[in-house]
Structure formats: structure tokens, C-alpha cells
Structure 1
Amino acid sequence: MSLFRAVAPPAIAAALALSGPAAGQAVNDYPTNARAEYVFACMATNGQTRDMLDRCSCAIDRIAEVLPYGDYVSAETVLRMRQTTGERAGMFRAMPQMTESVATLRRAEAEAEILCF
């Protein structure tokens, strides 16, 4: 591989340098288990078919392009906490910062639905 880089044009050499794991993590910071969890839940809702596997995988890929993983986790946490009862769950419904986090996730999901379904 190093011989190829030595004689490759600069643009190709730059592309090869960026094609390693570090480049993939910069664009794709969602762990595999988070993507799989999303796809499993999506398929449970929409059907257990190969077509739905492709569509649900597409959806989480689109969400990942729009929303950093940390923001995704925060929004999912807020949504889960809103489903609980009690005084503490109320703060997850009322705080504007948390409402905005969920709204951002909902926009990403809507875009994914348009593109993938």
C-alpha cells in the first residue's frame, strides 16, 4: 500500500489517507449498537421485511448525518423520561432546552422519513 501512495497523484493519496477508521468516525460517530437498536425498533413498528431493514437503516444513517450522537442520546433520554410519571418527569416536559433537543431529533426523523420511506 505504501508503494501505491508514493506514486499516486496527490488527490488519490489524500483520499486514501482519509479513508481509514478515523475518517469514518468523524462522519459516523454513532456506535453500531445504537444504530442496531434504532433499526430493530423501526422494524418492530413497520414490519419485519428486508425492505424495512433497508429503509430503517437508511433512516438512522440520515439522522446520523444531521444530529451528532451526543445530541441523539440526549433527545432519546428526554423522550424516555417524558413517558414516566411523577414530579421528576415533569421537568423533562417543561424545560425549553430539552424541548429543543427533542424538536431537533423530530426534524431529523422527519427528514429521514421523507428520504427513506
Structure 2
Amino acid sequence: MMRCLTIIAAAFFATAAGAQSIEEQLNDYPTAARADYVFGCMAANGQGQDVLIRCSCSIDTIASILPYEKYVEAETVLSMQQVGGERMAIFRSAPAAQLPVADLRRAQAEAEIVCF
């Protein structure tokens, strides 16, 4: 019974996701992720109202370029690169691990041009 409900729910959400407007697809970043980015950006660039506006613009620009799933993937690789040890070397050297990071860097560069 539970499996049946899970399948029905998955089918419903897949259908609903396919019916999303372009605006909804571009706004797929959770509020907490946007806020986390803005806090980090403001810590690096200053605490004024103008910096708040620029940092908000920056995450909005990144969100318009990079789907949230790819953003999470890149952030995960970047955080894993900070962990020491042999097992984490794959995140520092594998070309496949570098692709999401490169996409994020390009989106951040675009945001820098547009917002700062």
C-alpha cells in the first residue's frame, strides 16, 4: 500500500514538474540556499544595503544560469575539496568532478559582471 502511494505521489510530482512555467523553473533555488549565498557574499564584500542588493542580484543571476541541482553538485565538490586525505583526492583531480565547479565559476563570473 505504501509503495503504491509513493508511486502515485512520484507520478503526480513528475507531472506537476513538467507543467512548471519558465519563471518557476528559474526560481527553483530554496530560500535557505539563496539566503546562505547572500550571507556568505556579504561576509566577503561588506555589510551595507548596497552590498545586500548586489549579493541578491548575484544569486538571482546564478539561479538564472545554473539549475539548483547543478549548483548543489558544484557546492558539494567544493566542500569535499576542502577535506583532506587520500579518499578526497578524486574531488581535487578528476575532470568529471571539475565540470560542475567550472559551470558554477562561469555563472559567478557572469553574476560579477551583471551585479558588481
Partner amino acid, structure 2, of 1:99: Q
Q: Which runs of 4+ in 1 moved over 3 A?
A: none
Cα deviation, 1:49-80, whole Å, max 9, x if unaligned, reads 10000000000000000000000000001001
Identity within the alignment, %: 60
Say whether 1:51 aligns with 2:50.
yes
Provide the C-alpha distance between the structure 1 equivalents of 2:71 and 2:80, rounded to a whole number of angstroms.
Answer: 14
Q: How many residues align?
A: 96
Instruction: Determine if contact 2:26/2:67 at 8 Å carries over to the other structure.
Output: no
Segments of structure 1 that go 5 or more residues without pairing to the other structure are: 1-21
1:112 alignment counterpart = 111
Taking structure 1 as the reference length, what is the TM-score of the superposition? Answer: 0.79
Question: Computing the radius of gyration over CA atoms, which structure comes out larger, 1 or 2?
Answer: 1
| Cα RMSD after superposing both structures | 1.0
Partner Cα distance (2:93, 2:40) in 1: 27
Structure 2 CA distance for aligned equivalents of residues 103 and 27 of structure 1: 20
Q: Which consecutive unaligned segments of at least 5 residues does structure 2 have?
A: 1-19
> 1:18-61: per-residue Cα shift (whole Å, max 9, x none)?
xxxx5343221000000000000000010011000000000000
CA contact (8 A) 2:62 2:107 kept: yes
By how many angstroms is 1:108 displaced?
A: 0.3
1:34-113 paired onto structure 2 within 5 Å: 34-113=33-112
